Amino acid sequence: MSASDVAKRYFAALSAHDLDAAVACWVPGGVDRFVGQQELIAPDGVRGYFASLYAAFPDLRLEVLETTTGRGRVAVRWRARGIFAGPGMFQGLAPNGARVEFEGCDVVTVAGEKIEHSDAYVDSGEIARQLGFLPATGSPAEARLASLANARTKIVSRIHARVPERIADGVWIVRGGFPMKTMNVYLLEDEGGVTVFDAGISDMSAAVVAAGARMGGIRRVVLGHADADHRGVAPALRAPVYCHPAERSAAESDSSFRHYFDLAKLAPHGRVLLGRLLPIWDGGRVAIAGTVDEGDEIAGFRVVALPGHAPGLIGLYRDSDRLALVSDCFYTLDPQSGIKGSARVPHPAFNLDTEQARDSIRKLAAMEPAVVWSGHADPVTGDVRAELERAAAAH
């Protein structure tokens, strides 16, 4: 029996609601994959799915429109017709008597006169429209739905910048965080794409993904450190992630809190606010592809170790224009109020070693950068060395 005959026999059984004959067409353990939706394992998964489908559409019929065969695979274009009469549910929806007619395509792999795999392509949006759960194409209801979606996009864009801001040659920033956009994620031009440095909060994921796509694609992500508000978008970027060796365990941890955090050092309102926000900001554990350390080169910058706030905190420094991107080496805002100001030592509630953090600020100052951007808020410009030295000395 040819592969085409096997596929036609299978669809004839489905149209006749003959589940015994349908599952007999499958190799045990075969996979029926509804692309973008679910996978069924034969025979029980296939039997259960179609039994449920027939309970929702008792008159369902499948008509094979066309088949194309090559190398043991058959593309079957089909049409389905039926009425959502019940009594069974369909994907959690109660029967409403709607009549549906739609087309799809299965790519069926046959071995030894049995189906071992099928990829089914179905327009679920069209089915939802025919069932009345989405508005019809071109209808006023669809226009209203689009307006609501666009309104939501505008609100999100006000919270998280959709268009990156160029801050130096080959360097852009995406700002996020409600309400003041004080979370910074950096995009560095890198061989036709970008490297992401510092990974912000999870709510910024869509903005960073979109910015990276417009700029040639995200090649890799480098964490300034692994705090929850600096690894947040990394899991969503689908790119290899790197960090300092001392940050690896924290990056790969499920916890949003570092073992040395001491929220008791915050004011009462700060303990409540930041204790709740950190898990919300966090995108979860990150799979680390490799590590970077002092002196390594990344997209025209060199890595600088700046420990203290976190054990493996790093910055990036570019000699050509003395630009530094330094994550949380220092703050330019109060984390409890969001009020911006001059450079300061990170809050001791979140530091591994505050005195070491001061030494790292002094190390950065001695490099005499022209502009320094941290992980939050605005850059330090002007007499950068003097401002950083003041920050390191302040108590």
Where in the sequence is the domain holding 326, given as residue range(s)?
Answer: 161-393
Residue 334 CA to residue 219 CA, distance in Å, equals 33
Residue 309 lies inside a defined structural domain of this protein: yes
Q: What is the DSSP letter of 245?
A: G
Same domain, 170 and 55: no
Predicted local confidence at residue 180, as pLDDT? 65
Residue 28 lies inside a defined structural domain of this protein: yes
Predicted local confidence at residue 177, as pLDDT? 85
Predicted local confidence at residue 271, as pLDDT? 94
Backbone angles phi, psi at 51, to 5 degrees: -60, -40
Residues 6 or more apart whose CB falls under 8 angstroms from that of 91 comprise none
Same domain, 112 and 207: no
3-state SS assignment for residue 118: strand
Same domain, 173 and 78: no
Predicted local confidence at residue 35, as pLDDT? 94
Residue 127, domain CATH: 3.10.450.50
pLDDT tens digits in sequence order for the chain, 395 residues long: 899 999 999 999 999 999 999 999 999 999 999 999 999 999 999 999 999 999 999 999 999 999 999 887 999 999 999 999 999 999 899 999 999 999 999 999 999 899 999 999 999 889 999 998 887 788 787 777 677 766 766 665 555 556 799 999 999 999 998 656 899 999 999 999 999 999 999 999 999 999 999 999 999 999 999 999 999 999 999 999 999 999 999 999 999 999 999 999 999 999 999 999 999 999 999 999 999 999 999 999 999 999 999 999 999 999 999 999 999 999 999 999 888 999 999 999 999 999 999 999 999 999 999 999 999 999 999 999 999 999 999 98
Same domain, 262 and 366: yes
Q: Which of 134, 149, 180 is the last residue of a domain?
A: 134
Same domain, 318 and 205: yes
Same domain, 216 and 318: yes
Predicted local confidence at residue 181, as pLDDT? 84
Same domain, 113 and 177: no
The two three-digit tokens of residue 251, written as one number: 């990056």
Same domain, 116 and 175: no
Predicted local confidence at residue 153, as pLDDT? 63
The answer to whether 372 and 364 have CB atoms below 8 angstroms apart is: yes
Predicted local confidence at residue 195, as pLDDT? 98
Number of domains observed in the structure of the chain: 2
The answer to whether 301 and 188 have CB atoms below 8 angstroms apart is: yes
Predicted local confidence at residue 71, as pLDDT? 81
Neighbours of 106 (CB within 10 A): 24
Same domain, 199 and 274: yes
Residue 269 CA to residue 204 CA, distance in Å, equals 25
Residue 139 lies inside a defined structural domain of this protein: no
Residue 248 lies inside a defined structural domain of this protein: yes
Residue 270, domain CATH: 3.60.15.10
Strand 73-83, strand 61-70: pairing: antiparallel
Same domain, 228 and 130: no
Residue 153 lies inside a defined structural domain of this protein: no
Residue 64 lies inside a defined structural domain of this protein: yes
Residue 87 lies inside a defined structural domain of this protein: yes
DSSP string across 342-374: EEEPPPGGG-S-HHHHHHHHHHHHHT--SEEE-
Give this prediction's pTM.
Answer: 0.72
Tokens 């700046």, residue? 306
Predicted local confidence at residue 148, as pLDDT? 76
Same domain, 117 and 165: no
- Per residue in 312-351, is it b (16+ CB within 10 Å) or e — as a string? bbbbbbbeeeebbbbbbbbbbbebbeeeeeebbbbbebbb
Same domain, 227 and 302: yes
Residue 66 lies inside a defined structural domain of this protein: yes
